[in-house]
Amino acid sequence: MSAPAVSLSTTASDLLSLTKPRLSSLVLATTAGGVWLAPGHLDFSRVLVTLLATSGTVASANALNCYLERHSDRFMARTTNRPLPSGRMEPGVALWFGLSLAAVSLPALALGANLLTALLGLAALLSYVLVYTPLKARTSAAMLVGAVPGALPPLMGWTAVTGVVDAGGFVLFSILFLWQIPHFLAIALFRKEEYAAAGLKSVPLEHGDESSRAQIVLYLVALVPMTLLPYQLHIAGGWYLAAAVVLGLGFMALGAWGFFRQMGKPWARQTFFYSLLYLTGLFAAMALDTGIGGWQ
């Protein structure tokens, strides 16, 4: 009696791990932020369907990514124990799981939110699975491609309320897009050997650590002014503006310190963790300080 129960529990845990819960939770938070910040109102049931369907779409993309990268995942410490590279799960199970999630989530997104939001979800799914994933083994430019589906969730939250892609939604998209580049570069710097072992391309491997540190600074110079636009567009108020300035100056100081001092892996890891705190603080300040949007 106990063996099947353990097996079922293990399978459920492995299926959950395919969805990359930590990454999915970040996506869910930014989608919810887009819903909250958008002008207008969305009843709670539609908010719930939108968030669940978006989570399902993201989970589908992550599961299909695990399926496609099952061989290279064996060579990276953070992925070697995933169900597929470890041999605990047959690849076909992950494939059908990912496809099934998409088959349920995208129609639910169209019905719960609107067709535009569902189309954005489809674009995020296809670009992540069919473009970004295979490009990772060919060119470091895949990073820019991967930042597109990563930046779509807050825009999807926005369009779920407004039904249009306008300036406010585009600014949220742009903030997430620009934020991801320093975030990705920091990971690529302190996991450079793992990327090389897995046969994946990255800026540090193709262009060197100095170029990577320089690009972190350049994208931060673009990111910080972009984060001021929600105040200009009256999406958020003065408290958000103050938080964006303080958090942004801290991020830029950390990036500049690493660039001018030619810092290595410890700095890259610190930059990675600060990027997470930065995004969390930015969206928290925006949500707390906005007088627009909301759920009823």
Question: What is the distance between the alpha carbons of residues 294 and 262, in angstroms, rounded to a whole number?
Answer: 45
Confidence of residue 3 (pLDDT cuts 50, 70, 90): very low
- The DSSP output letter for 131 is I
Q: What is the pLDDT of residue 152?
A: 96
pLDDT value of position 76: 80
Q: Indicate the angle between helix axes 115-126 and 91-112, nearest 10 degrees.
A: 160
pLDDT at 101 (0 to 100): 96
Q: Is pLDDT larger for residue 22 or for residue 172?
A: 172
- What distance in Å separates the CA atoms of residue 235 and residue 69, rounded to the nearest whole number? 39
Is residue 6 included in any domain, yes or no?
Answer: no
Closest Cα to residue 16, out of 53, 56, 49, 46?
Answer: 56
In a domain, 196, yes or no: yes
Answer yes or no: is 5 within a domain. Answer: no
> What confidence tens digit (pLDDT) does each residue in 202-232 have?
999 999 999 999 999 999 999 999 999 999 9
Has residue 253 been placed in a domain? yes
Task: Answer yes or no: is 7 within a domain.
Answer: no
**How many domains are contained in the chain?**
1
Instruction: Provide the domain limits for residue 285.
Output: 13-289
Is 296 inside any structural domain? no
Mean pLDDT of 82-107: 93
Residue 128's CATH number: 1.10.357.140
Cβ atoms of 91 and 84 within 8 Å: the answer is yes
β-pair partners for 42: 295
62 contact partners, CB below 8 Å, separation of at least 6: 18, 19, 20, 23, 24, 98
In a domain, 273, yes or no: yes
What's residue 1's pLDDT?
41
Residue 1 domain-assigned (yes or no)? no
Q: In the structure encoding, which two tokens stand for residue 259, read together?
A: 């660039």
